[in-house]
Amino acid sequence: MAYNWNWEVFLQPSATGSGTYFDWMVYGFKTTIGLSLTAWLIALLLGALVGVLRTVPNKLLSGIAAAYVEVFRNIPLLVQLFLWYFVLPELLPTELGNAFKQSNPFVQQFLSSMLCLGLFTSARVAEQVRSGIESLPRGQKNAGLAIGFTLPQTYRYVLLPMAFRLVVPPLTSEFLNIFKNSAVCSTIGLLELAAQGRQLVDYTAQPYESFIAVTLAYVVINVTVMVLMRRVEARVRVPGFIGGK
Amino acid sequence: MYEFDWSSIPGALPFLAKGMLVSLEIMVAAVVIGIVWGTLLAMMRLSSIKPLSWFAAGYVNTFRAIPLVMVLLWFFLIVPHLLEQLLGVPRGTDMRLGSAIAGFALFEAAYYSEIIRAGIQSVSKGQMAAASALGMNYWQSMRLVVLPQAFRNMVPLLLTQGIILFQDTSLVYVSALADFFGTASKVGDRDGRLVEMLLFAGAVYFVLCFSASQLVRFYQKRLKTA
């Protein structure tokens, strides 16, 4: 096969004049990490809230939470992203919409991507939190109520401290997913890893090196997160409990 | 405030229907190939022949570490190039549909194989032993005894994965292949009615996937009580 392998391409100055092609990769890598971490924060906070609401006895609240989860789970991520990026600014009050559209393109892309990934993942986190709470023996809630705790107190002092520890292992895979899903954001022009990979192909004419490097970068992220989460999981493990092993 | 104008949607329906057929075609082909290849991978993973088991583990872990978008980009940008050079496929042949199916199938097989592996492991060991005792060889006992029981338990999970795959087919957007979503966004752009088109596309996906997942849930309940 007549292909000229040239790994030194990454050290060449980039076409835009600032830095090398390797710097492009680093930039994409940072964007992917920054986007995924901020989105993960949103997903954890909202997911915990919605997951708890799904288990409360109040039919209205649990119904709203269930609807939330179904909406975010049954629309493809790409479609959600386009709705956030192209549709939402049009539907906002005119001034706010215009302010958004006139802001720095990177800010627009990043904010839309962050909200999209955060809310998309929060629905999945909510399902894990719900099943964590439901996996607790029913006696725990009854015992909490029997000793005179109100329902919020029962959640605060009895159910959640256990449930949050139990959901850590299933949340690891959601955490891994958010990094992988962030690649979808390349479609609205956000220059994260996958998008930089495409740019590298266009600019360097070394498609194999570019794609291998980007793919490896994702593998590195994946492995790092997995190793870190194994340590977290080991720390929060509930001895003798299902899922805690 | 934004003024909605839905009038361009009825005229676009034939195009959208065509796009939906492409989406469904990719999904069905990828599900079928993915399950077959996934079953083989699961059997390799559980095999006592070490190299096979290593290969399957490596395959599954690699595909699960890479974003689907990256896999699709490989299949749209790199693989056609490779085929041109290795097999002398004429330059510029439109392989996007084939590439999409291959990409999805190979990617999903990794996920299917994990579901199927759990399914095979959930069948009690005695079943395999009993089949061997009856004089069946490995393939016979797998095909006639273990897999039928494993698949029965796995059907809801496999269907749910199929729904996820259907949602993911929208990602062929990166190759500009005209699936349902790609068509919606193109027509929306053409008519200057992107907002309405995207909302409509989102609603269609929601209705389809929500109904499908309700059906799976219903089926799962029946399976449990049966």
pLDDT at B77: 86
Measured between CA atoms, the residue of chain A closest to residue B67 is A180
What is the rounded average pLDDT of the residues A134-150?
A: 93
Q: What is the ipTM of this complex?
A: 0.91
pLDDT in tens, A165-203: 999 999 999 999 999 999 999 999 999 999 999 999 888
Q: Is residue A1 over pLDDT 60?
A: no
Closest listed residue to residue B28, CA positions, set B163, B220, B123, B214: B163
Please list every residue in chain A whose beta carbon sits closer than 8 Å to the beta carbon of residue B167: 74-77
Q: What is the 3-state secondary structure (H, E, C) of chain A?
A: CCCCCCHHHHHCECCCCCCEHHHHHHHHHHHHHHHHHHHHHHHHHHHHHHHHHHHCCCHHHHHHHHHHHHHHHCCCHHHHHHHHHHHHHHHCCHHHHHHHHHCCHHHHHHHHHHHHHHHHHHHHHHHHHHHHHHCCCHHHHHHHHHCCCCHHHHHHHHHHHHHHHHCHHHHHHHHHHHHHHHHHHHHHCCCCHHHHHHHHHHHHCCHHHHHHHHHHHHHHHHHHHHHHHHHHHHHHCCCCCCCCC
CA geometry: angle B184, B185, B186, nearest 5 deg: 95
Confidence of residue A206 (pLDDT cuts 50, 70, 90): confident
pLDDT in tens, A63-119: 999 999 999 999 999 999 999 999 999 998 888 888 888 999 999 999 999 999 999
Please list every residue in chain B whose beta carbon sits closer than 8 Å to the beta carbon of residue A186: 69, 174
CATH code of the domain in which A74 resides: 1.10.3720.10
Domain boundaries, chain B: 10-225
Interface test with A, best of B1, B60, B69, B108 (most A CBs within 10 A): B69
Among candidates B1, B65, B213 on the partner chain, residue whose Cβ is nearest the Cβ of A218: B65
Measured between CA atoms, the residue of chain B closest to residue A80 is B202
Which residue range(s) make up the domain with A100?
A: 18-236
Please list every residue in chain B whose beta carbon sits closer than 8 Å to the beta carbon of residue A75: 167, 202, 205-206, 209
Strand partners, A13: A20
List, in order, residues 6 or more apart from B76 with CB less than 8 Å away: B96, B99, B100, B103, B174, B175
Please list every residue in chain A whose beta carbon sits closer than 8 Å to the beta carbon of residue B2: 90-91
Per DSSP, B176 falls in state T
pLDDT at B209: 97
In a domain, A95, yes or no: yes
Measured between CA atoms, the residue of chain B closest to residue A207 is B78
In a domain, A167, yes or no: yes
- B80 or B23, which is more confident: B23
What phi and psi, each to the nearest 5 degrees, are found at residue B164? -60, -40
The answer to whether the CB atoms of A218 and B168 lie below 8 A apart is no
Contact predicate B44/B117, CB 8 Å: no
Dihedral angle at the C-alpha atoms of A153, A154, A159, A164, nearest 10 degrees?
Answer: -10
pLDDT in tens, B129-177: 999 999 999 999 999 999 999 998 899 999 999 999 999 999 999 988 8
The answer to whether the CB atoms of A183 and B167 lie below 8 A apart is no
CATH topology of domain B10-225: MetI-like fold (1.10.3720)
Q: Is residue A245 over pLDDT 50?
A: no
Measured in angstroms, the CA of B191 and the nearest CA of chain A are apart by 15
pLDDT in tens, B41-74: 999 999 999 999 999 999 999 999 999 999 999 9
What phi and psi, each to the nearest 5 degrees, are found at residue B143? -70, -40
The answer to whether the CB atoms of B171 and A78 lie below 8 A apart is yes
